[in-house]
């Protein structure tokens, strides 16, 4: 299966998962679909039958609220049955709103309190370096999450320790819960900011699988410094009517929303059956 | 009953014990890694850095990130020993301690130094009176306050291969020497230093010394006090507490910490539920820290032997 096809599958399963639950973090889940597709289909060395394989590459979803998209990806990879996606946020579920390493097979770090995941990711990268291991570490942070000061502590650490086994992806979808990131708390020019922290920095189209793949490989080949890939993304990507809606961070689906989701689910199912 | 050292002498500085024990553990176990947040000089871990440069990570002044880095190191199977002043590893980075380590069920040893008034001239900003309360509130945490250097060294080594979140509250410098080298320490088991029939004084850290002094004063007045070194605050030793509550009818706790959420609270909960007897609590009450010598601060916050004596007499009225 190519990355584009895998993206369509992830998007489909994520939408079904969220529609079944009737509410959830749809916007930020949709914006990282292509990234998850490329990482899990083409880049990361992982073994779904042995989620704790010590030779695996690690992923820290620092924007833990995008759990639903990651759960769909992991289920499609075979970490757990697709059927389990229907248990998202059920009482007693193993698929909670925010990623939890102790509940879900394939989740490497518990996240949800923003800013903390990036620190764990640099800790994992440092731990692997100390042990002389060549596993790679990927972290996904949101642009809104970059309001958190702890992110910059982690950047300083990654740079100081030359963590070239770490690639940080910024899901730059330009929106956070209360509105556009520029309006809520303008974090300035991200590219310049990361370069000033001595990160190998690039900005790409976050919905183009080929570009994501090529850039990730480039980043992994960069030695002596950590890398950041800023993904220009659209919050709610794939559902035209939801795209870039300020209210799409967390939605409780109305009747109309449901009909819309039905339409997109049918479209994606058609695509997947081609 | 422990054959403790009755003669009043001083321990080694606990910071020296920390550095030396780290080197010993790192020599034997490649998984051991130490984290600092620009307080290596204060805790004397430069020797560790000289010996194991790759496994002594000075994060700089970033306690929140340090907790996350510890979490990440634990994910890769390493055993992080995380040190800073008690206020910084708890108050300052509490959500990180709580979530990235506690909630994520990762493995770390947290060393909070300058327990309570031992922060002396660093004053109120640096004086932890609530670190035990904060760490106690993290589910499944193991919370201990060291009362002597032998205890510290042995418990660091003994718990190295255990899994979970362990908090060691320590004084950085010297304390009263209490234990012989052959003393054994069990996490969760209090140590009876002196038996008694009228009152049980349950203490931790520097207050163990005060409790022993209080016992001498009380003895002269015909009051027979038992003294327990309750170095594990959580899980508290319920069996021992119930045994002594039955035996002495009055239990007085003594801690160099806020009376809310620390040793006194843990002891009260146990005794209140299992064998209610009269209690009194020595500890910091509704106060922030301030600069001063240890002696001055113990006087101000009523953390001296004479304060324990007064509480015992009040409780026996």
- DSSP letters, chain A, are --HHHHHHHHHHHHHHHHHHHTEE-HHHHHTTHHHHHHIIIII----TTSTT-TT--EEEESSGGGHHHHHHHHHHHTSS-GGGGGGTT-TT-SS-SS--TTTSTT--S---STTHHHHHHHHHHHHHHHTT----EEEEEETGGGGSHHHHHHHHHHHHTT-TTEEEEEEE-SEETTEEHHHHH----HHHHHHHTT-EEEEEETT-HHHHHHHHHHHHH--SS-EEEEEE--TTTT-TTTTT-GGGSSEE--HHHHHHHHHHHHHHHHHHH-
Residue at B138 is within a domain: yes
* Chain B contact set for A112 (CB, 8 A): 99
Residue A148 distance to chain B (closest CA, Å): 11
Does B75 contact A130 at a Cβ distance shorter than 8 Å?
A: no
pLDDT at A244 over 90: no
pLDDT at A266 over 90: yes
Which among B59, B76, B103 is the nearest to A131, CB-wise?
Answer: B76
User: How many angstroms from the chain centroid is the CA of residue B65?
Assistant: 24
Q: HSE (CB half, 13 Å, CA atoms) of B188?
A: 8
Same-domain status, B146 and B234? no
B60 closest CA partner among B38, B76, B81: B38
Residue B61 distance to chain A (closest CA, Å): 9
Cα angle for residues B294, B295, B296 (degrees, 5° grid): 95
Which among B30, B71, B95 is the nearest to A120, CB-wise?
Answer: B71
In this prediction, residue B143 has a pLDDT band, given cuts at 50, 70 and 90, of very high
CB pairs under 8 A between A and B: 109
pLDDT at A274 over 80: no
Window 15-74 of B, Cβ < 8 Å to A: 30, 33, 54-55, 57, 59-60, 62, 64-65, 67-74
- Average pLDDT taken over every residue of chain B: 97
Q: In what order do the strands lie in the sheet containing A200-205?
A: A58-61, A137-142, A166-172, A227-232, A200-205
Residue A166 distance to chain B (closest CA, Å): 12
Cβ–Cβ contact B96 with A under 8 A: yes
Strand bridging mode B191-194 / B225-229: antiparallel
Same-domain status, B268 and B165? no
Cβ–Cβ contact A54 with B under 8 A: yes
Minimal-distance CA residue of chain A relative to B77: A127
Mean pLDDT confidence for B267-277? 98
Which among B71, B99, B105 is the nearest to A123, CB-wise?
Answer: B71
Q: How many domains does chain A have?
A: 1
Does B68 contact A123 at a Cβ distance shorter than 8 Å?
A: yes
Q: How many domains does chain B have?
A: 2
CB neighbours of residue B158 within 10 Å: 13
CATH of the domain at A117: 3.40.50.970
Which among B57, B96, B104 is the nearest to A101, CB-wise?
Answer: B104
Which residue range is the domain that position B273 belongs to?
Answer: 191-315
Q: How far apart are CA B34 and CA B20, in angstroms?
A: 12
Q: How far apart are CA A158 and CA A170, in angstroms?
A: 15
Residue at B74 is within a domain: yes
Same-domain status, B165 and B118? yes
CB neighbours of residue A132 within 10 Å: 7
Which residue range is the domain that position A96 belongs to?
Answer: 3-272
Minimal-distance CA residue of chain A relative to B70: A123
CA pseudo-torsion sign B220, B226, B228, B233 = negative
Does A130 contact B64 at a Cβ distance shorter than 8 Å?
A: no
Same-domain status, B149 and B198? no
* Chain A contact set for B65 (CB, 8 A): 119, 122, 150, 153-154, 156-157
Over residues B29-62, the pLDDT tens digits come to 999 999 999 999 999 999 999 999 999 999 999 9
Residue at B184 is within a domain: no
Same-domain status, B135 and B211? no
Cβ–Cβ contact A128 with B under 8 A: yes
In this prediction, residue B296 has a pLDDT band, given cuts at 50, 70 and 90, of very high
Over residues B188-232, the pLDDT tens digits come to 999 999 999 999 999 999 999 999 999 999 999 999 999 999 999
Provide the whole-model pTM. 0.96
What H or E segment, with its residue span, contains residue B79? Answer: strand B79-85
pLDDT at B1 over 80: no
Over residues B221-261, the pLDDT tens digits come to 999 999 999 999 999 999 999 999 999 999 999 999 999 99
Over residues A245-261, the pLDDT tens digits come to 889 999 999 999 999 99
Of B134, B169, B204, the position where a domain reaches its end is B169
Backbone conformation region of residue B20, classed left if phi is above 0, alpha if psi is from -120 to 50, else beta: alpha
* Chain B contact set for A110 (CB, 8 A): 99-100, 103-105
Residue at B88 is within a domain: yes
Same-domain status, B221 and B288? yes
Residue at B126 is within a domain: yes
Cβ–Cβ contact B77 with A under 8 A: yes
Per-residue CA distances from B184 to B1, B3, B152, B158, B269 (Å): 12, 11, 11, 10, 27
Which among B57, B62, B76 is the nearest to A124, CB-wise?
Answer: B76
Token pair of A30 as six digits: 């949709």
Residue at B272 is within a domain: yes
Cβ–Cβ contact B104 with A under 8 A: yes
What H or E segment, with its residue span, contains residue B191? Answer: strand B191-194
CATH of the domain at B132: 3.40.50.970
Same-domain status, B138 and B224? no
């Amino acid at each position: 299966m190519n990355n584009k096809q895998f993206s369509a599958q992830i998007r489909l399963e994520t939408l079904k998962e969220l529609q079944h639950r009737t509410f959830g973090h749809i916007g930020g889940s949709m914006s990282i679909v292509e990234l998850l597709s490329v990482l899990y289909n083409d880049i990361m060395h992982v073994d779904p039958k042995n989620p704790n394989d010590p030779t695996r590459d690690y992923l820290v979803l620092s924007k833990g609220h995008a759990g639903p998209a990651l759960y769909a990806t992991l289920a499609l990879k075979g970490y757990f049955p697709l059927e389990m996606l229907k248990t998202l946020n059920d009482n007693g579920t193993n698929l909670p709103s925010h990623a939890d390493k102790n509940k879900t097979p394939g989740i490497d770090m518990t996240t949800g309190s923003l800013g903390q995941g990036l620190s764990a990711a640099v800790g994992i990268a440092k731990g692997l370096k100390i042990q002389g291991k060549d596993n790679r570490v990927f972290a996904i942070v949101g642009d809104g999450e970059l309001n958190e000061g702890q992110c910059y502590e982690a950047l300083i650490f990654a740079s100081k320790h030359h963590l070239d086994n770490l690639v940080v992806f910024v899901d730059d979808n330009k929106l956070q819960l209360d509105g556009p990131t520029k309006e809520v708390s303008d974090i300035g020019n991200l590219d310049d900011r990361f370069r000033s922290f001595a990160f190998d920095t690039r900005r790409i189209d976050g919905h183009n699988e080929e570009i994501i793949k090529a850039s990730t490989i480039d980043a992994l080949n960069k030695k002596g410094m950590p890398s950041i890939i800023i993904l220009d993304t659209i919050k709610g990507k794939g559902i035209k009517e939801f795209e870039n809606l300020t209210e799409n961070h967390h939605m409780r689906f109305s009747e109309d929303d449901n009909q819309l989701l039905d339409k997109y689910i049918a479209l994606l199912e058609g695509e997947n059956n081609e | 009953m422990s054959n403790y050292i009755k003669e009043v002498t001083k321990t080694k500085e606990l910071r020296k014990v920390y550095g030396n024990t780290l080197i010993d553990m790192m020599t034997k176990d490649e998984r051991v890694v130490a984290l600092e947040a620009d307080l290596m000089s204060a805790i004397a871990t430069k020797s560790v850095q000289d010996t194991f440069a790759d496994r002594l990570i000075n994060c700089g002044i970033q306690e929140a990130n340090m907790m996350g880095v510890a979490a990440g190191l634990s994910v890769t199977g390493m055993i992080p020993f995380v040190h800073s002043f008690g206020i910084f590893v708890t108050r300052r980075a509490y959500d990180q301690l709580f979530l990235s380590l506690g909630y994520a069920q990762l493995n770390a040893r947290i060393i909070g130094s300058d327990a309570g008034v031992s922060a002396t001239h660093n004053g109120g900003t640096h004086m932890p009176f609530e670190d035990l309360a904060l760490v106690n509130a993290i589910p499944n945490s193991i919370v201990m306050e060291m009362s002597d250097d032998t205890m510290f060294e042995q418990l660091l080594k003994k718990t190295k291969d255990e899994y979970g979140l362990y908090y060691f509250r320590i004084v950085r410098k010297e304390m009263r020497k209490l234990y012989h080298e052959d003393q054994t320490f069990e996490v969760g088991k209090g140590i009876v230093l002196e038996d008694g029939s009228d009152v049980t004084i349950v203490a931790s850290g520097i207050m163990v010394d005060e409790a022993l002094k209080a016992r001498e004063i009380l003895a002269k007045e015909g009051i027979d006090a038992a003294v327990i070194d309750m170095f594990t605050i959580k899980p508290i030793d319920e069996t021992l507490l119930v045994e002594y509550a039955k035996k002495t009818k009055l239990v007085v706790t003594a801690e160099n910490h806020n009376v809310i959420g620390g040793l006194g609270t843990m002891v009260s909960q146990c005794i209140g539920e299992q064998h209610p007897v009269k209690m009194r609590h020595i500890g910091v009450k509704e106060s922030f820290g301030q600069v001063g010598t240890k002696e001055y601060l113990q006087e101000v916050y009523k953390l001296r032997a004479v304060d324990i004596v007064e509480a015992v007499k009040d409780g026996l009225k």
